[in-house]
Amino acid sequence: MNTNRLSKKLNDALNAQMTNEAHASQIYLSFGSWASEKGYDGIANFLFRHAEEERNHMMKFIEYILERGGKVKITAIAAPGPDPANVNDCFEKFLKAEIDNTNEIYKIVKLSFDEQDWATWNFMQWFVKEQIEEETLALNLMSKMKIAGGEHAKDDALYLIDKEVAGMDDAKSAEAATAANP
Ligand code: FEO
């Protein structure tokens, strides 16, 4: 008897998204390292915590696939790409990564809807909500950068941004994240 409650298409899509979350984690580890090297310790701390949050998202997909009797396939993770050119570029890339991720999440929501796999559709709603939070967070970073002068922000403004990002609530709450409650 087939005990896999996921269609091949959905199993593959969930696996691919699991790898996307791991890729996002690698991107934020890379950006966090860049920020730390540049002396932006608050931004680095925020990005390292966010990298951990993405790992928890990855685990959430693994747990769900296994729960449904599916097959988890761990693959290589693509390299994160070049370092940001500056803090503005770093936050822009953060926003872009989150929007790209939202679009991938939506594709799985659509697929689960088309297949009438309501368990997966329900599981994915957590990510739909999470992506609203993640995009809001990224947009807030962009707003702060805009006030600070965007890509032309001076050192004193960047110093203040770094301090502020270090104290952001999302950075603190990410610390307490677990796979069950990312
Ligand atoms: Fe897992 Fe930042 O989305």
* Pocket lining: 57 vs ligand 1, CB cutoff 6 Å: yes
* Pocket lining: 162 vs ligand 1, CB cutoff 6 Å: no
Residue 174 has pLDDT above 80, yes or no: no
**CA nearest neighbour of 13 among 115, 163, 157:** 115
* Pocket lining: 98 vs ligand 1, CB cutoff 6 Å: yes
> Which homologous superfamily does the CATH classification assign to the domain defined by 8-176?
Ferritin, core subunit, four-helix bundle (1.20.1260.10)
pLDDT in tens, 9-23: 999 999 999 999 999
pLDDT in tens, 117-167: 999 999 999 999 999 999 999 999 999 999 999 999 999 999 999 999 998
Percent of the chain with pLDDT over 70: 92
Position 169 scores a pLDDT of 64
Q: Where are the domains of the chain?
A: 8-176
**CA nearest neighbour of 137 among 165, 161, 157, 158:** 165
pLDDT in tens, 39-96: 999 999 999 999 999 999 999 999 999 999 999 999 999 999 999 999 999 999 999 9
pLDDT in tens, 104-130: 999 999 999 999 999 999 999 999 999
Closest C-alpha residue for ligand 1 atom 1 = 54
* Pocket lining: 50 vs ligand 1, CB cutoff 6 Å: no
Residues in the chain: 182
- pTM score: 0.92
Atom number, ligand 1, closest to the C-alpha of residue 58 = 1
The values of phi and psi at residue 61, to 5°, are -65, -45
Residues 6+ apart with CB under 8 A from 45: 32, 166, 171
Cα–Cα dist 97/127, whole Å: 15
**65 near 124, Cβ under 8 Å?**
no
Cα–Cα dist 124/104, whole Å: 11
For 107-173, give the DSSP string: HHHHHHHHHT-HHHHHHHHHHHHHHHHHHHHHHHHHHHHHHHTGGG--HHHHHHHHHHHHT-HHHHH
Distance of CA 77 to the CA centre of its chain: 14
